Structure 1
Amino acid sequence: MKRKVLLGLSCFCLALVLGCGQQAANPSAEGGAQDTPEKTLVLAAYGGSYEKKMKEAIIPKFEQQFGVKVQYITGSSVDTLSKLQAQKDRPQIDVAFLDDGPKAQAKSFGLLAPLDESIVTNLAHVYDIAKDKDNIGVGFGVIATGLAYNKDVFEQNGWEPLKSWNDLADPKFKGKLVLPSIANTYGVHLLLMTAFANGGSERNIEPGFAKMKEIAENAVTFDKTADVSNYFLQGQTVASAWGSSRVFTLQDTGFPIEFVIPQEGAPALMATVNVVKNAPHAELAQQFVNFILSEEVQVEFAHSLFDGPVNKNVKLEGDITKKLIYGEEQMAKLVKVDWEYVNQKRAEWTERANKEIEVAR
């Protein structure tokens, strides 16, 4: 009898312990407090210096301000576009950073949502060149594709600084140029601007192909990586078509490279921020876009990554203003590429360029 009583008491105490433990683990149980689960915004964006700066200085401020967590998925624009296509029926990404070319593709595929101007209030302060006509995504950083040249080499040879896209066809540069391949955005820009400089356009590309055949006579190779810094450093090229942010990054190391917006203008290479259609946290995604367009964050991008601010209210001072696209005067010199049309023709142009321009180089 005594054994039965002791066994019963032991079972009762064990039940109490287990019950208390279960209640502690499950606050929603009777008598416990209900915790609100923390939201997680999923951001797909660039790697390298962009990822470093976002994680160090930008994302923590957003997390603190909105009481959320941000999950960062690293990838190029092409990588991110592929993910968006794969997840179309059940999106897992809330916000996507895309270059303007892939962004135009994402829009045409119906992968992106319009911006809500009642939430993205900073959109009212953005330069027109950074806006989408349907408010699907918005540019948050402006880079120009222009001409870069080695200042020391030019001075040693008594050469005038580059002024026109057509200058690349000068015979004095034979065997001294590494140019971007049409496989990357810089190469597409070069083809477009040689067309513009010779009476053509996106829809009349023939003058571009004609001039590029001349320019190709000076080329050692056509680079597919979009990074010609090593070619400059090793003396394999004295000039090229390249992005302003990359030029100024190399210049910051002490290398004597200069950047020029040619007299015919320079195409804008826009980094865009976009809300994914049917995003799991759509309103939070809209708030993130507004945050990226804020003056504080725009200044951060300018100083850290040489991205030209798209918010008209941003004020910059000192040397930084010479190292990026800044202000209405410089914005007015930029050419906005019609990516909806260019993307339709890109495969055709790429095949032609490979056969007629870049062949055997």
Structure 2
Amino acid sequence: MTEFRRRHLLGAALAGAALPWDAARAQAAMTAAVYPGGWDEALRAVLAPRLRERHNIGVAFEPLFAVDQIAKARAARGNPPFDVFVLDPGPRVSGIEFGLFEAFDPAKLTNRALLPDGYADAHGAAVAAQVVGIAYNPTKVAKPKGWADLFKPEYVPKLGLTGFGTTFGTISLIEMAKALGGSEANMDPLFAELRRIRPNVAAVGQPAAMPGMFQQGQIDVMYTNTYTVTLLRSRGVNIDFAVPETGAAAFVTTMHIAKGSRNLDSAYKYIDEMIATPVQAALAQDPYFFVPVNKDVTPGADVPMRSISEIGNFVTHDWARINPVRAQWIARFNREMAG
């Protein structure tokens, strides 16, 4: 998640500036990894104050992307650099395989009943969801029916391409491969089509650059999550979300307690408050647009579900199979799509 309005950036900065003093005053303190940008700003503004008010716990946030959290924890060799991870499915699987998490007891979450079955397990708990599909400018192009449409002449000159470096990018490209006759085990049809359209595609760039390009009119079609669509629309951008004919993809973001954490009780309370109804409801609204996992909180209008309980209707992926080959896909995309 990326930018916010100026007043929220100012509020986040003030909250960040006050954090060391607040943490020092609190009876308990902890450190949590958080995604840079939107997540960092949202959790500072919404979750941290509630944790202080209800439990007198101060939290210091360390902005890190998921892969960097895993790398930093592994390098720490048993001396955890933070108490709580926040991870998408691929890095979650890596964290489990590397033994980076404390055994998790869902019974310690007072809000456990607000999550769907299976959303809190022996490793951690789900705290947000993402829904991935195709974003398009309805004033410039017709609504795409599915992933294969992105390779048609009417879409290629308006398409923004990004690689396998993010979860939404990875699963979008996997779904494209399937639509072209490939699979997770055979990405050749995808790469053949990517090479074919490369000379005529509007842009190939980093994931963080795509929303800006769309807003500026450099691209009119991209694959992304509903969060980005809602955020851009709130800024007056002409953008709609298309659910591919094979279904939109969805995944959940989870939190985990770091192995060796000396703040177990605080870490549990942090995760518990993250899934509490007031926090989930606040995060689902402007300017944050999170997709809630709390069953009592309704997702925003741009999310094609009315409750997290409907997520079983969406396309999901086996990250235990994806992780071992993802680095190869990243390298191949960078090599074949560069220049």
- Tell me if both proteins adopt one fold, taking TM over 0.5 as the criterion: yes
Q: Is the 8 A contact 2:229 2:302 kept in 1?
A: no
Alpha-carbon offset, residue 280 of structure 1? 1.0
Measure the CA separation in 2 of the matches of 1:195 and 1:174: 16
Instruction: Find the residue that maps to 1:131 and give its secondary structure.
Output: coil
Question: Structure 1 residue 314 and structure 2 residue 297: aligned?
Answer: yes
- Amino acid of the structure 2 residue aligned with 1:87: A
Q: Which moved more, 1:101-110 or 1:252-261?
A: 101-110
Alpha-carbon offset, residue 146 of structure 1? 0.8
Measure the CA separation in 2 of the matches of 1:198 and 1:282: 47
- Amino acid of the structure 1 residue aligned with 2:314: L
Q: Is the 8 A contact 1:191 1:209 kept in 2?
A: no
Alpha-carbon offset, residue 232 of structure 1? 1.4
Question: CA separation of 1:94/1:223 partners in 2, compared to 1, >3 Å: closer, same or farther?
Answer: same
Aligned counterpart, 1:143: 130
Q: Where does 1:111-190 land on structure 2 (aligned, <5 Å)? A: 111-127=100-116, 131=119, 135-154=122-141, 159=142, 161-190=143-172
Q: Is the 8 A contact 2:33 2:85 kept in 1?
A: yes
TM-score, normalised to structure 2's length? 0.83
Measure the CA separation in 2 of the matches of 1:329 and 1:261: 18
Measure the CA separation in 2 of the matches of 1:172 and 1:329: 36
Alpha-carbon offset, residue 97 of structure 1? 1.6
Alpha-carbon offset, residue 181 of structure 1? 2.0
Question: Structure 1 residue 82 and structure 2 residue 71: aligned?
Answer: yes
Question: Structure 1 residue 348 and structure 2 residue 311: aligned?
Answer: no
Question: CA separation of 1:351/1:91 partners in 2, compared to 1, >3 Å: closer, same or farther?
Answer: closer
Question: CA separation of 1:211/1:114 partners in 2, compared to 1, >3 Å: closer, same or farther?
Answer: farther
Aligned counterpart, 1:39: 28
Measure the CA separation in 2 of the matches of 1:279 and 1:335: 35
Q: Where does 1:3-22 land on structure 2 (aligned, <5 Å)? A: none
Instruction: Find the residue that maps to 1:73 and give its secondary structure.
Output: strand
Alpha-carbon offset, residue 279 of structure 1? 0.8
Q: CA RMSD in A?
A: 2.6
Alpha-carbon offset, residue 142 of structure 1? 1.1
Measure the CA separation in 2 of the matches of 1:40 and 1:324: 38
Alpha-carbon offset, residue 329 of structure 1? 7.3
Q: Which moved more, 1:201-210 or 1:50-59?
A: 201-210
- Amino acid of the structure 1 residue aligned with 2:122: N
- Amino acid of the structure 1 residue aligned with 2:36: G
Q: Which moved more, 1:198-207 or 1:51-60?
A: 198-207
| Runs of 5+ unmatched residues, structure 2 | 1-24
- Amino acid of the structure 2 residue aligned with 1:48: G
Question: Structure 1 residue 264 and structure 2 residue 246: aligned?
Answer: yes
Aligned counterpart, 1:7: none
Alpha-carbon offset, residue 120 of structure 1? 2.0
Match of 2:237 among 255, 267, 286: 255
Alpha-carbon offset, residue 214 of structure 1? 4.9
Aligned residues: 314
Match of 1:280 among 231, 253, 262: 262
Question: CA separation of 1:330/1:152 partners in 2, compared to 1, >3 Å: closer, same or farther?
Answer: farther
Question: CA separation of 1:199/1:137 partners in 2, compared to 1, >3 Å: closer, same or farther?
Answer: farther
Aligned residues with identical type, % of pairs: 28
Instruction: Find the residue that maps to 1:228 and give its secondary structure.
Output: helix
Measure the CA separation in 2 of the matches of 1:121 and 1:334: 28
Alpha-carbon offset, residue 352 of structure 1? 2.8
Q: Is the 8 A contact 2:50 2:273 kept in 1?
A: no
TM-score, normalised to structure 1's length? 0.78
Question: CA separation of 1:270/1:221 partners in 2, compared to 1, >3 Å: closer, same or farther?
Answer: same
Q: Is the 8 A contact 1:122 1:294 kept in 2?
A: yes
Instruction: Find the residue that maps to 1:168 and give its secondary structure.
Output: helix
Instruction: Find the residue that maps to 1:255 and give its secondary structure.
Output: coil
Q: Is the 8 A contact 2:102 2:258 kept in 1?
A: yes
Q: Where does 1:160-239 land on structure 2 (aligned, <5 Å)? A: 161-214=143-196, 216=198, 218-239=200-221
Aligned counterpart, 2:315: 335
Q: Where does 1:46-61 land on structure 2 (aligned, <5 Å)? A: 46-61=35-50
Alpha-carbon offset, residue 139 of structure 1? 2.4
Aligned counterpart, 2:98: 109
Instruction: Find the residue that maps to 2:202 and give its secondary structure.
Output: strand
Alpha-carbon offset, residue 211 of structure 1? 4.6
Alpha-carbon offset, residue 276 of structure 1? 0.9
Instruction: Find the residue that maps to 2:39 and give its secondary structure.
Output: helix
Measure the CA separation in 2 of the matches of 1:111 and 1:328: 28
